[in-house]
A = this chain, B = another copy of it.
């Protein structure tokens, strides 16, 4: 049975701010691609704008590794932060809420189940049979599973076509998976700071490293930490690595080798300011993160691979890598686009030439608004 329940957040309309609310999609039973049954599956979502009468104006947004369905707007005007892509989603922006009906979705095994902005089902969820958290008894899932669950959400809204599916980083992997799993649904795919058509081995290894500190933390206890001390240190170190990977040399150079302690040769614990910054940020973010869910998300992203489905793709593709990206450098987009063009599939690459690394796919994506607008208006020239 599918039902929709309004979540905690209420809102009052106010000029200037896009105000939104969290919604829950309750799917019920879901069977994974690998054949494992999960009961009581639910994910969160938000919508911006209005669905038109023929349901032809739908944009679906999938989120990045450490993100969630809060892609734009605020829950109340008093909120200090807006959603991660607020710079391109809203009235008059390139993903124009006056024109499009935009759905931003959570994914399975989201690594921030303790955030009020996230609704997900994963290893930290309560197993209805045991009334305890699943921990590692939760089945491993893939990006394909993320997308199948999201498709059920779309079905529940009565939407049969996506004018656009869009995502950044791990969200781009999901958007590509959408185009591969549901070619008859997806008309366009916008891939920002994306992998290619599969997760490169380099990033497979990077995801292994992001997972490593959690497994090293003695509090992890092979996943059985619920109701006990959580592996907070491991989670913080994982997040520190993730933040570090998403940045760049030029971003880091802003710290100007400033020292936090008088002499860094004072003790092994003395720090440069960049170290302190990364540690403090990671510790703060860690409060919302479930260690097992991070491991599950990493595993799902590692296994992303749509190469075998390339012949069935029908969407038009726009890749926007960031020139200084150290996780998914532009060459991955260029190679993926060439593979698509070789198959006579419409594809275009437009590199964002900024200095901030991977994270600029969120922070500075509005600088690519013109090429996105051209893509949405079918005014772009595809393939050489």
Residues of A within 8 A of B (CB): 34, 136, 140-142, 198-202, 204-206, 208-209, 212-213, 216-218, 223, 233-234, 237, 240-241, 244, 247-249, 251-257, 263-268, 271-272, 274-275, 278, 295-296, 299, 302-303, 305, 326, 329, 331-332
A253 in contact with B34 (CB, 8 Å) = no
* A208→B140 contact, CB < 8 A: no
Once bound together, how far apart are the Cα atoms of A252 and B204, in whole Å? 9
B264–A201 CB distance below 8 A: no
**Residue of B with least CB distance to A218:** B218
Shortest C-beta distance, A270 to chain B (Å), equals 8
Residue in B closest to A212 when the chains form the complex, CB atoms: B237
Tell me whether A202 and B249 are in contact (CB under 8 A).
yes
- Identify 8 new A-B residue pairs, CB closer than 8 A, beyond the known A201-B256, A257-B305, A326-B326: A141-B265, A142-B265, A200-B249, A201-B254, A201-B255, A205-B244, A205-B275, A264-B299
A302-B34 contact given A200-B249, A216-B234, A237-B212, CB 8 Å threshold? no
Q: Which residues of B contact A275 (CB under 8 A)?
A: 204-205, 208
- Residues of the B chain whose Cβ atoms lie less than 8 Å from the Cβ of A136: 268
Contact of A265 among B34, B201, B267 (CB under 8 A): B34
CB distance from A280 to the nearest CB of B (A): 13
Chain B residues positioned under 8 Å from A303 (CB to CB)? 264-265
CB A325 to nearest CB in B, in angstroms, measures 11
List B contacts of A251 (CB < 8 A).
Answer: 202
**A206 and B265 within 8 A (CB):** no
Q: How many copies does the complex hold?
A: 2
A141 vs B218: C-alpha distance in the bound complex, in angstroms?
31
Report which of B202, B240, B265, B296 forms a contact with A299, defined as CB distance below 8 A: B265
Contact A257–B213 (Cβ < 8 Å): no
Chain B hits for A205, CB < 8 A: 244, 252, 272, 274-275, 278
Complex contacts, A329 vs chain B, CB 8 Å: 249
Which one of A198, A212, A244 has the highest number of Cβ atoms from chain B below 10 Å of its Cβ? Answer: A212
Is A201 a contact partner of B234 (Cβ separation < 8 A)? no
Across-interface contacts of A278 in B (CB, < 8 A): 205, 208
Complex alpha-carbon distance, A151 and B204, angstroms = 44
Contact present for A302 and B272 (CB under 8 Å): yes
Most chain-B CB neighbours within 10 Å: which of A202, A218, A251? A202
In the complex, residue of chain B having the shortest beta-carbon distance to the beta carbon of A198:
B257
Q: How far is the CA of A204 from the CA of B258 in the complex (A)?
A: 11
Residues of B close to A237: CB separation below 8 A: 212, 216
**How far does the alpha carbon of A218 sit from the alpha carbon of B299 in the complex, in Å?**
25
Shortest beta-carbon contacts, A-B, top 8: A202-B252, A201-B252, A201-B255, A216-B216, A140-B265, A201-B274, A202-B249, A208-B275
- Check B257–A199 contact: CB distance below 8 A: yes
Contact partner, A252, options B200, B268, B272, Cβ 8 Å:
B200
Evaluate contact between A263 and B34: CB separation under 8 angstroms. Answer: yes
* A329 (CB) vs chain B CBs: closest residue: B249
Given contacts A199-B257, A233-B216, whether A295 and B274 have CB atoms under 8 Å apart is no
Nearest Cβ in chain B — how far from A285, in angstroms? 16
Across the interface, which residues of B come within 8 angstroms of A326, CB to CB? 326
State A252–B275 Cα separation when bound (angstroms). Answer: 28
**Docked complex Cα distance between A272 and B248 (Å):** 27
